[in-house]
Amino acid sequence: AQTVTQSQPEMSVQEAETVTLSCTYDTSESDYYLFWYKQPPSRQMILVIRQEAYKQQNATENRFSVNFQKAAKSFSLKISDSQLGDAAMYFCAYRSRYTGNQFYFGTGTSLTVIP
Amino acid sequence: DTAVSQTPKYLVTQMGNDKSIKCEQNLGHDTMYWYKQDSKKFLKIMFSYNNKELIINETVPNRFSPKSPDKAHLNLHINSLELGDSAVYFCASSLPVRGAEAFFGQGTRLTVV
Give the minimum alpha-carbon distance from A28 to chain B in angstroms, rounded to a whole number: 17
Return the pLDDT at A100: 61
B contacts of A52 (beta carbons < 8 Å) = 98-99
Mutate to test the interface with B, among A43, A91, A95 (most CBs of B within 10 A): A43
Give the minimum alpha-carbon distance from A18 to chain B in angstroms, rounded to a whole number: 24
Task: Please write the tens of the pLDDT for every residue from A13-66.
Answer: 999 999 999 999 998 888 899 999 999 999 999 999 999 988 889 999 999 999
How far is Cα A104 from Cα A96, in angstroms, rounded to an integer?
Answer: 8
Q: Between chains, do A101 and B96 touch, taking CB under 8 Å as contact?
A: yes
Residues of chain B under the 70 pLDDT cut:
1
Any CB–CB contact under 8 A between A90 and chain B?
Answer: no
Q: Is the pLDDT of residue A111 over 70?
A: yes
Which among A43, A99, A108 has CB closest to B88? Answer: A43
Q: Between chains, do B92 and A97 touch, taking CB under 8 Å as contact?
A: no
Beta-carbon contacts of B59 under 8 Å, excluding residues fewer than 6 positions away, are none
DSSP A47-62: EEEEEETT--SPPEET
**Average of pLDDT values for A56-84?**
96
Return the pLDDT at A55: 86
Return the pLDDT at A16: 98
3-state helix, strand, coil in chain B (%, to 5): 5, 55, 40
Q: Is the pLDDT of residue A97 over 90?
A: no
Return the pLDDT at B82: 97
Q: Percent of chain A beyond pLDDT 90?
A: 81
Exposed / middle / buried, residue A6 (Cβ in 10 Å: 0-12, 13-18, 19+): buried
Bridge-based pairing of strands B103-104 and B4-7 is: unpaired
Which among B43, B50, B99 has CB closest to A50? Answer: B99
Return the pLDDT at A1: 65
Q: Between chains, do B101 and A102 touch, taking CB under 8 Å as contact?
A: no
Q: Between chains, do A107 and B40 touch, taking CB under 8 Å as contact?
A: yes
Backbone angles phi, psi at A107, to 5 degrees: -80, -5
